Amino acid sequence: MTESPKAAMADPAEIERALARVKAARQAIVSELRKVIVGQDDPIDQVLVAMFAGGHCMIQGPPGTAKTLLATCVAQVMDLSFKRIQFTPDLMPSDISGTEILEEDQTTGRRMLRFAKGPVFSNIVMADEINRTPPKTQAALLEVMQERQVTLGGRTYPLPEPFYVIATQISLEQEGTYPLPEAQQDRFMLTISMNYLPERSEAQVVRRSTGAEAVELQKVIGATDLLAFAQAVRQVTLPPALSRYVVDLVASSRPTVPGCPDFVKEYVAWGAGLRASQNIALAAKSAAAQDGRSTVEPQHIRKAIVPVMRHRIGLSFRAEVDHVSVEDVIRRLTQACPEPPSH
Amino acid sequence: MATEATAAPVHANLLATLCEGRERILREIRKVIIGQDAVVNDVVAAFFAGGHCLITGVPGLAKTLLISSLGRAMDLTFRRVQFTPDLMPADITGTEVLEEDRATGSRKLVFRPGPIFTNILLADEINRTPPKTQAALLEAMQEHQVTVSGTTYPLKEPFFVLATQNPIEQEGTYPLPEIQQDRFMFSLLIDYLPKAQEIEVIDATTSAAGAQPDVCMTGGELIEYQRLIRRLPVAEPVIAYAVSLAARSRPTEAGAPDFIRDYVSWGASIRASHYLVLGAKARAALAGRPHVSVQDVGSVAYPVLRHRIITNFRAESEGISSEEIIKRLLQAVSPPKSGL
């Protein structure tokens, strides 16, 4: 048997140059986005961490916290096609992926089936209020997210590259929601939390949004750059001490694993799986690349932990009674699992 | 006249190539899957025996990757269906659409095959879908065909279903009835990897894309091997051992041990003895051995009996699982003395 050749090890100078481009692109994107988006530095950071690594993200937060604005601005600055889908209780899978329509040929008068592409054929798909739609339609979106192609009538239509889903959820307490099953949430790399701004920033937003001046956003990078960045991110090294730390931390969130902390047994119904460790590692690499570093440092891991783990831990009934949030649990996990000393 | 003497060398040659084929497949799968040796081995064994598998485990443990790699290594078509509460039977089997004939302009109903028309089907989270849809899948699995409006469409051969069940978040799920579970040859459990392997996985999956499995066997060869496995002779005492393992698990059976009467509400069906023998044949053949031993039967006891022995309320309250029952059963049923 011939083994297929291992991906060629890029030479260090080339990696350095690629990372320098990633860092420059990040700075340019952030300064463009700040022209329009006020005081949401962490969400901007996290969206870029996910996109530079080729991952999908979920944005949570009350209405009017610039969730759609963030997604549209990112699309503009990166010169990507953008479609927003409002998820409703009557949305069908074909409303997302596309459908075959009967079309008449003008010249011959013959009718035939033609595939009309759905809104998912776009670089960025904003899936708004994804939990308002029934499970089969949710599953249709998650399937294309995973496979990056639509199969219909025996034919396969590839999605454009890169392809990102940015989904939002309405709060679960509301009526008529279909909560996304845990296994499907797991397919999102990060959950980004957007909150109301401090008053000073809110005043700035109001001043800007009611003013006459329209801000024009510059295109800073393009689709091919993002594909190259995703490659560069994967060239970043994760030191063994840090990968061991990531695995220890994630494993300590699993109540069935012997030796997990007592508060986990008490408050956690199910812990974070293998995809949590993978995505913390990848998010940390993406953050390091955006710093222009070829090696992950503890602060890159630290920033990745909460957004990656937030949607991967299920709380017990007891946690609800004691008003313990997922963020509380994650904070206690990081306290219980010591970070390796940085060198 | 064909005698044992002339048949044996052919067997030996075929078995050697089968054993080598299995090694090649495992080598290809190992390019992308780290760890989970037991599950990989059992899935490959079921695949070669022509049986279907049920896997229970938390998400994110590379179940999709395992089964799609197996498909790639054998150049077979692969489809995944996410089961949801609103999935309908036609979403799996297919549906009829009105289509116009281009030449004549007349319209007629044309069958659009569903995702079940594939060699390998991953039925993800099968317990999220209501019974009618589960039944549609299981019926097609059993019959290897789909019937719509009076017309029968055969499924592709080979046909293999790997269904998954998620043990967490049981709310709003429809557990598969025992009789439906019985249609799966093996029930496998998949658990988190040891930490050292989890570290290996995160290093491998967040670095530059690695090797992909190459095609190393065709579907036609697989079907040949499936036939070969069925042709493997099994000695009477080995069959008797498989039958008594299944029979002694039934609380109504005369010779059932006390712990079976105490803890089991339903014992293993006749399909259990069938799959114990078939699984043992696959184990022996895949190892290149022409003789099926008692150890081969024992080695498939857990995956074959796990979902077929239903424990009662008392077992649940005393924390006794079907795993524990199988362990005791293997101790209680003594293998034949011939040393096979």
Of A153, A250, A269, the CB nearest to B112: A153
CB-count exposure of residue B62 (10 Å: 0-12, 13-18, 19+): buried
Q: What is the mean pLDDT of residues A313-322?
A: 91
Distance CA B198, CA B192 (A): 8
Strands (E), A75-177: 82-86, 98-104, 111-117, 124-128, 149-152, 155-158, 164-168
State pLDDT tens for residues A257-277: 888 888 999 999 989 989 999
Q: Is the pLDDT of residue A5 over 50?
A: no
Please identify every stretch of chain B with a pLDDT value under 70, giving residue numbers as ranges: 1-11, 101-102, 169-172, 338-340
Task: Match 């309320």 to its residue by tokens.
Answer: B313
The residue that leads in pLDDT, A8 or B92, is: B92
What integer pLDDT is reported at residue A332 of this predicted model? 92
What integer pLDDT is reported at residue B41 of this predicted model? 92
Domains A13-89+120-209 and A236-343 share a fold: no
Q: Is the pLDDT of residue A317 over 80?
A: yes
- Could you tell me the CA-to-CA distances from A130 to A48, A311, B49 in Å, in that order? 21, 15, 42
* Pairs of residues, one from chain A and one from chain B, whose beta carbons lie less than 8 Å apart: 123
Q: Which long-range contacts (CB under 8 A, 24 or more apart) does B266-269 make?
A: B266/B178, B266/B309, B266/B310, B267/B308, B267/B309, B268/B304, B268/B305, B268/B308, B268/B309, B269/B182, B269/B308
Of A3, A181, A235, the CB nearest to B208: A235
B82, A186: Cβ pair inside 8 Å? no
Q: Is the pLDDT of residue A188 over 70?
A: yes
Give the chain A residue nearest B59 (alpha carbons). A183
**ipTM for this prediction:** 0.80
Q: Are A118 and A97 in contact (CB under 8 A)?
A: yes
- Could you tell me the CA-to-CA distances from B281 to A187, B242, B284 in Å, in that order? 39, 12, 5
Q: Of A269, A215, A241, nearest to A34 (Cα)?
A: A215
Distance CA B156, CA B141 (A): 11
B60, A274: Cβ pair inside 8 Å? yes
Which of the following CATH numbers is that of domain A236-343: 1.10.8.80, 2.30.30.40, 3.30.565.10, 1.20.1270.360?
Answer: 1.10.8.80
- Read out DSSP for B72-113? HHTT--EEEEE--TT--HHHHHEEEEEEE-TTT--EEEEEEE
Residue at B323: amino acid letter: E
Report helix, strand and coil shares of chain B as percent, to nearest 5: 50, 15, 35
Helices A12-36 and A274-290 pack at an angle, to 10 degrees, of 90
Of A4, A134, A247, the CB nearest to B198: A247
Q: Which chain B residues have a beta carbon less than 8 Å from that of A111?
A: 100, 102
Q: Of A48, A49, A58, nearest to A78 (Cα)?
A: A48
Phi and psi, residue A40, nearest 5° = -120, 55
A98-104/A111-117 β-pairing:
antiparallel
Q: What is the mean pLDDT of residues A200-208?
A: 72
Distance CA A241, CA A297 (A): 10
State pLDDT tens for residues A90-108: 999 889 988 888 777 777 7
pTM of the model: 0.86
Average pLDDT, chain A: 87
B216, A1: Cβ pair inside 8 Å? yes
Q: How confident is the model at residue A196 (pLDDT cuts 50, 70, 90)?
A: confident
How far from each other are the two terminal CA atoms of chain B, in whole angstroms?
A: 28
A142, B91: Cβ pair inside 8 Å? no
Q: Are A337 and A277 in contact (CB under 8 A)?
A: no
Domain A13-89+120-209 indexed as CATH 3.40.50.10490? no
Q: Is the pLDDT of residue A211 over 80?
A: no
3-state secondary structure at position A214? coil
- Could you tell me the CA-to-CA distances from A212 to A65, A200, A208, A217, B106 in Å, in that order? 21, 20, 8, 16, 61
Rounded to the nearest angstrom, the minimum Cα separation between B174 and chain A is 14
Q: What is the mean pLDDT of residues A214-231?
A: 89
Q: What is the mean pLDDT of residues A276-297?
A: 94
What integer pLDDT is reported at residue B13 of this predicted model? 83
State pLDDT tens for residues A154-175: 778 999 999 999 999 877 666 6
What integer pLDDT is reported at residue B176 of this predicted model? 84
The residue that leads in pLDDT, A109 or B202, is: B202
Q: Which chain A residues have a beta carbon less than 8 Å from that of B99?
A: 113
State pLDDT tens for residues A124-148: 999 999 988 988 899 989 989 888 8
Is any Cβ of chain A less than 8 angstroms from the Cβ of B258? no
Q: Which chain B residues have a beta carbon less than 8 Å from that of A153?
A: 112
Q: Hey, where are the domains in chain A?
A: 13-89+120-209, 236-343
CA torsion A194-A196-A198-A204 (nearest 10°) is 90
What integer pLDDT is reported at residue B170 of this predicted model? 63
State pLDDT tens for residues A235-265: 999 999 999 999 999 999 999 888 888 899 9
Q: What is the mean pLDDT of residues A115-130?
A: 92
B53-56/B160-165 β-pairing:
parallel
